Amino acid sequence: MNRNNYISPRSYGNEATLFINPAKKNLGKSKKKISRPSLILSFLIVFSFFSLILGYSAFADETSDTAWELWDDDEYIYIDGFGSIETLDLFAITLAKHKCEDLRVDFYISSFDRIQAKQGQEFILEITETPDEGDFYNEYKNEVFVNYSEKRGNHTIYILSFEDMFMTQDWIDRLHDLGPSHFYIDITQHADWPDSNPSIYFEHTANIWDLSGLKPVLLDAFRKCRFLSADIIDA
């Protein structure tokens, strides 16, 4: 199997093969908390406890096919899908209705029986894109930070975020080029945080998402966002 290994994706800001392209707008080193995680987070907490009651039974099985859900509120359009390994984890894409050309990517990670990581704490996300056809895959790394966390008893839910915004059209084009594929992540230690082994905070550090079906959902969200954005401007 052929591999592209991008050890430092920041050196490849214009590289077309990078799915998570860090060349977009930087959110700054302040690690400011996003102001809108409450809806997804509340849903995920309820879903988590409900799933625990069911013992990861049929309800978890129904969501493990990583069907991508599209929904919105007054300000944002959301796309999210549950992981295939740990079905309580979410891969979340967010478009602001007033600025559809950019999107955010966040990972909602559930953890049990672990201490809580600090706000702004950084980790390295090792990412592998694996198309379902052919023997070629891309492997690279990028920084994420704890954007938000909430602890309920022995259960902690984290929002891990990139510092950068990404271009919506680039994601649509990249999904088209990849075709049916899988997106694998592994949370690893950041060199600037030498005493912060991820296993201290995360019950699991790896997950995988099936990207099949994401492109039409994202394209639909982009079209809807631009339509709503035009209404906002006209208003």
Predicted pLDDT at 136:
78
Across residues 66-86, what is the average pLDDT? 90
Domain ranges of the chain: 2-10+32-234
pLDDT confidence of 233, banded at 50, 70, 90? very low
Is the pLDDT reported for residue 156 higher than 60? yes
pTM for this prediction? 0.77
Which are the contacts of 94, defined by CB distance < 8 A and separation ≥ 6?
Answer: 36, 76, 77, 78, 79, 103, 104, 106
Alpha helix positions (H), the chain: 38-54, 58-63, 168-178, 214-234
User: For the chain, how big is the Rg over CA atoms in Å?
Assistant: 17
Is the pLDDT reported for residue 52 higher than 60? no
Predicted pLDDT at 207:
97
Is the pLDDT reported for residue 7 higher than 80? no
More confident residue, 16 or 229: 229
For residue 86, which phi and psi values (nearest 5 degrees)? -110, 105
For residue 44, which phi and psi values (nearest 5 degrees)? -65, -35
Tens digit of each residue's pLDDT (9 = 90 or more) over 135-144: 778 999 999 9
Question: In the predicted model, what is the mean pLDDT of the chain?
Answer: 78
Q: How many Å apart are CA 71 and CA 78, to the nearest integer?
A: 5
Q: Percentage of the chain with pLDDT > 90?
A: 59
DSSP structure class, residue 200? G
Q: Percentage of the chain with pLDDT > 70?
A: 70
